[in-house]
Amino acid sequence: MSAQVVVGTQWGDEGKGKIVDVLAEQADMVVRFQGGDNAGHTVVVNGVKHVLHLLPSGVLRKEAQCIIGPGVVCNPFVLLKEMETLRQSGLSTDHIKISDRAQILMPYHCYQDELEEAAAQNKIGTTKRGIGPCYQDKYARRGIRFHEFKNFETFEKRLRYSVEQKNKLFTSVYGAKPMDVEEMVAQFKEIHDQIVPMIIESTHVVNQAIKENKRVLFEGAQAAMLDINYGTYPYVTSSSPTAAGVTVGAGIAPSKIDQVIGVVKAYSTRVGEGPFVTELLNEQGELLRQQGFEYGATTGRPRRCGWLDLLVVKHADMINGLTDIVLTKVDVLGGLDEIKVCIGYEIDGEVYDYVPSDQSDVAKAKPVYKVLQGWKEDISKCRTWDELPEACKSYVEFIEQFCEIPVSMISVGADRENNIYRNDRVRP
């Protein structure tokens, strides 16, 4: 497999970072293609935890070139901080490159995100990392890309004009303080020499790697239900965290994608606002939060928890064309008497077998559950399928049969080593 895509199938935080790190052991290149530092991808190596926001999770493998692709909105200050943290842990950062087409996420985007959220009638619960405002500017064709940063003089002119325009918005629409342009220019000047050597024309580089049959991993951030078009709009992010997002966000032809791996968490979580049909607002949900340590890696917010929703996974499959599922956090379900999975939505007396697009319908949907038997054993030490309790195997097989997608790998713990491989399709 040359080009492998790893995407989230629910509302994010499925464990994509961990899976990318595992697969990156044998990868030549790992590419982020959308989103920005709204992502929080945790990788645990020998008990040491690394949280990555902008850097691809392959970054801990120094042999794999890491690329922040054209579709990413990249805050260069966050990027440098993240690189510094890695260096402090003794890790190399020489293999990190930024696409010249990627958008520069500016300090004013973060400020705008905060002001928009504070003033919004319908709060989304964003990460306040400036993601929405940066994509707004990109699609309005007034964004500033990394290639423009190479020439500081022209960049500075563009920056000054943009801050002037944004300050009009901040002061007259939001009644907020303007931003200090001099300070911003100075901040950018300071990082110029560190950022410029990392800027490359990535699209040629990535396509060449695929042509040479090198193993390239595309790491999705966020997930299908946060997709700008097919998620729970407007409670979504501003990019396409799907296999199709790879084509536009990395410059890869659809026909070049060999495998689309959907990461499915064994239950559901969501951070921020928006409908969540299987949400458990009781001690059962609290138990999942505690056992699964469900607190946001970016904002620290407690994640909303609920049972696995297979309509959501099917929806993710429909828009991604999943070739494989990697099922994560199965260990977290250990100790329960029974486990529920949602296989339908009842809306106004009618049962749906797909997720409707109208969020007011989703908001009133009642889950139709299939109740499966739980297991008592701690499965975190299991490394083969045969070692798993029968009830756990049945749980996995039910998902596989309902979604008609092979569960090729099962993750039973946060560390790199805690995996069960079921075939040769998804493994390092």
**Span 278-317, contacts to ligand IMO by CB under 6 A:** 297
Which of helix, strand or coil describes residue 122?
coil
What one-character DSSP code corresponds to residue 126? -
Report yes or no: 105 and 74 within 8 Å, Cβ to Cβ. yes
Minimum distance from CB of 39 to Mg ion (Å)? 6
What one-character DSSP code corresponds to residue 54? S
Query: What angle separates helix 390-403 from helix 310-320, to the nearest 10 degrees?
Result: 50
Minimum distance from CB of 292 to Mg ion (Å)? 12
**329 in contact with ligand GDP (CB under 6 A):** yes
Q: Which does 76 bind (CB under 5 to 8 A by kind): ligand IMO, Mg ion, ligand GDP, none?
A: none
**79 in contact with ligand IMO (CB under 6 A):** no
**264 in contact with ligand IMO (CB under 6 A):** no
Per CB under 6 A, which region of 25-33, 141-149, 171-179, 219-227 contacts ligand IMO?
219-227
**15 in contact with ligand GDP (CB under 6 A):** yes
**221 in contact with ligand IMO (CB under 6 A):** yes
Give the closest residue to 240 by CA, choosing from 3, 5, 23: 5
**242 in contact with ligand IMO (CB under 6 A):** no
Give 105's contacts (C-beta < 8 A, 6+ positions apart).
36, 37, 73, 74, 75, 76, 129, 130, 131, 134
Report yes or no: 244 and 71 within 8 Å, Cβ to Cβ. no
Interface with Mg ion: number of residues (CB under 5 A): 3
What single-letter amino acid sits at 90? G
Minimum distance from CB of 117 to ligand IMO (Å)? 9
Joined tokens for residue 242: 């799907």
Give the closest residue to 216 by CA, choosing from 326, 70, 67: 67
Minimum distance from CB of 293 to Mg ion (Å)? 12
Active site residue 13: yes
**41 in contact with ligand GDP (CB under 6 A):** yes
Minimum distance from CB of 419 to ligand GDP (Å)? 8
**413 in contact with ligand GDP (CB under 6 A):** yes
Q: Using the rule CB under 6 A, which residue among 252, 332, 342, 372 binds ligand GDP?
A: 332
Give the closest residue to 274 by CA, choosing from 369, 368, 371, 355: 355
Query: d(Cα 220, Cα 222) in Å, to the nearest integer?
Result: 7
Per CB under 6 A, which region of 11-19, 97-105, 328-336, 369-377 contacts ligand IMO?
11-19
Minimum distance from CB of 179 to ligand GDP (Å)? 30
Give the closest residue to 395 by CA, choosing from 383, 412, 381: 412
Q: Using the rule CB under 6 A, which residue among 4, 103, 126, 162 binds ligand IMO?
A: 126
**13 in contact with Mg ion (CB under 5 A):** yes
**331 in contact with ligand GDP (CB under 6 A):** yes
Active site residue 193: no
Query: d(Cα 42, Cα 52) in Å, to the nearest integer?
Result: 6
Residue 18 or 304 having the CB closest to ligand GDP:
18
| Contacts of 359-362 spanning 24+ positions with Cβ under 8 A | 359/232, 359/233, 359/234, 359/235, 359/274, 359/275, 362/232, 362/275, 362/277
Residue 8 or 76 having the CB closest to ligand IMO:
8
Q: Which does 198 bind (CB under 5 to 8 A by kind): ligand GDP, ligand IMO, Mg ion, none?
A: none
**76 in contact with Mg ion (CB under 5 A):** no
Q: Using the rule CB under 5 A, which residue among 52, 297, 305, 326 binds Mg ion?
A: 297
Query: d(Cα 220, Cα 226) in Å, to the nearest integer?
Result: 12
Q: Using the rule CB under 5 A, which residue among 8, 40, 133, 231 binds Mg ion?
A: 40
Give the closest residue to 292 by CA, choosing from 13, 12, 2: 13
Report the side by side order of strands in the sheet with 216-219. 199-200, 96-99, 65-68, 29-32, 216-219, 3-8, 259-265, 324-328, 407-411, 419-421
Partners of 96 in the beta sheet? 66
Binding track over 279-318 against ligand GDP, x by CB under 6 A: ------------------x---------------------
Minimum distance from CB of 59 to Mg ion (Å)? 15
Active-site residue, from 21, 41, 113, 137: 41
Question: Which positions touch ligand GDP (CB under 6 A)?
Answer: 8, 12-18, 40-42, 44, 297, 328-329, 331-332, 411-414
Question: Which positions touch ligand IMO (CB under 6 A)?
Answer: 8, 11-13, 38-41, 124-127, 129, 131-132, 221-223, 226, 237-238, 271-272, 297
Residues acting as catalytic residues: 13, 41
